[in-house]
């Protein structure tokens, strides 16, 4: 059984108003991720004596008994903070009038803590993806094929451990070709983004790219020979956009190809961002 990620669990819990909804959504997500898991095997893992009782919980016909909270939380993969949040929801559900005023501030406090933890984890994912791409791109600065030490020397000394880990991750994902003498080279037969299945990493990289560009506007906007920051709004028809979007993507790739230097001739990396999307506006009638 593949466990749910910490940020996925927190995201689900934050969006739930009661314990039965939380348990139903968490179990459903676990079932989707591990289709082979059965209700009986889950109940056994959670220490539940009756599948019928837990089925009633999933259907919203009864609340989970507090004595089974620890087992169910463990089977769902909840950590201490997430278990506390589920416990507070359960106590509020079972004693709505008696505990409502007392529990509400605690529930909101734990919810904020879960949100902060989730955002920190997502930021770590974004940052890691961006750094891995920088390491992969750095091969162009050393001729495309190099020893790991040559790539590492392009980064600050304080980042050497992160570079080593990034190379290991890139290697594990088949993005680097390894030679007998230890040299590495980006595997041109693999698609990192675009049509690859790595959609989440692609989104994380896009978010990191936009955030990086926002942070550089103040310092890099006037460096005319090194940077271009342009934003515009144009009127289009959706039919024209649908017809021309493939052509636009092709022109973007061609522009990148014109900028990209040959192996061994490069001495810098460049971030190339273009966003084109429809704005949510309505046409006014005359």
pTM for this one?
0.46
What one-character DSSP code corresponds to residue 146? B
What pLDDT sits at residue 97?
64
Give yes or no: residues 29 and 70 share one domain: yes
Instruction: Decide which of 42 and 117 is more confident.
Output: 42
Residue 65 lies inside a defined structural domain of this protein: yes
DSSP-derived secondary structure for 182-193? S-EEE-TTS--S
CB-count exposure of residue 152 (10 Å: 0-12, 13-18, 19+):
buried
> Which of 184-193, 227-236, 262-271 has the lowest average pLDDT?
184-193
Residue 73 lies inside a defined structural domain of this protein: yes
> Which of 108-112, 208-212, 220-224 has the lowest average pLDDT?
208-212
The residue segments making up the domain with residue 21 are 6-94
Q: What CATH number has the domain bearing residue 43?
A: 1.10.260.40
Residue 218 lies inside a defined structural domain of this protein: yes
Give yes or no: residues 73 and 181 share one domain: no
Residue 266 lies inside a defined structural domain of this protein: no
Give yes or no: residues 13 and 67 share one domain: yes
The average confidence (pLDDT) of the chain is 81
pLDDT tens digits, 233-250: 888 888 888 888 888 888
Give yes or no: residues 73 and 140 share one domain: no
Residue 105 lies inside a defined structural domain of this protein: no
| Total structural domains within the chain | 2
Give yes or no: residues 38 and 155 share one domain: no
What mean pLDDT is predicted for residues 101-122?
76
Residue 83 lies inside a defined structural domain of this protein: yes
Residue 248 lies inside a defined structural domain of this protein: yes
The contacts of residue 207 (CB under 8 Å, 6+ apart) are 126
Q: For a pLDDT cut of 70, what percent of the chain falls above it?
A: 83
Give yes or no: residues 144 and 239 share one domain: yes
What mean pLDDT is predicted for residues 82-93?
91
What mean pLDDT is predicted for residues 81-106?
82
What pLDDT sits at residue 44?
93
What pLDDT sits at residue 69?
94
Give yes or no: residues 128 and 226 share one domain: yes
Give yes or no: residues 245 and 153 share one domain: yes
pLDDT tens digits, 41-71: 999 999 998 899 999 999 999 999 999 999 9
Instruction: Decide which of 72 and 186 is more confident.
Output: 72
What pLDDT sits at residue 47?
94
Give yes or no: residues 53 and 174 share one domain: no
Element (H, E) at 147: none
What pLDDT sits at residue 248?
87
Give yes or no: residues 213 and 151 share one domain: yes
Give yes or no: residues 216 and 254 share one domain: yes
C-alpha span between 53 and 73 (Å, rounded):
16
């Amino acid at each position: 059984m593949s466990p749910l990620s910490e940020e996925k669990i927190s995201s689900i819990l934050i969006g739930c108003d009661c314990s039965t909804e939380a348990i139903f959504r968490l179990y459903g997500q676990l079932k989707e991720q591990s289709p082979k898991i059965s209700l009986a095997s889950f109940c056994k893992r959670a220490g539940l004596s009756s599948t019928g009782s837990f089925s009633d919980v999933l259907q919203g016909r009864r609340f989970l008994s507090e004595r089974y909270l620890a087992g169910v939380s463990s089977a769902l993969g909840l950590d201490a903070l997430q278990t506390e949040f589920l416990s507070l929801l359960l106590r509020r559900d079972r004693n709505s009038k008696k505990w409502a005023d007392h529990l509400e501030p605690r529930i909101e406090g734990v919810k904020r803590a879960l949100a902060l933890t989730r955002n920190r984890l997502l930021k770590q994912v974004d940052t890691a993806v961006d750094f891995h791409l920088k390491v992969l791109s750095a091969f162009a600065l050393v001729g495309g094929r190099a020893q790991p030490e040559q790539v590492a020397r392009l980064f600050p000394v304080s980042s050497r451990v992160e570079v080593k880990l990034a190379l290991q991750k890139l290697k594990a994902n088949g993005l680097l070709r390894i030679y007998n003498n230890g040299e590495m080279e980006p595997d041109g037969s693999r698609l990192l983004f675009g049509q690859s299945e790595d959609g989440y990493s692609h989104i994380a990289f896009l978010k990191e790219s936009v955030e990086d560009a926002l942070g550089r506007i103040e310092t890099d906007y006037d460096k005319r020979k090194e940077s271009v920051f342009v934003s515009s709004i144009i009127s289009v028809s959706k039919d024209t956009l649908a017809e021309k979007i493939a052509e636009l993507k092709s022109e973007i790739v061609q522009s990148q190809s014109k900028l990209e230097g040959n192996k061994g001739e490069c001495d810098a990396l460049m971030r190339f961002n273009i966003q084109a999307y429809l704005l949510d506006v309505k046409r006014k009638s005359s």
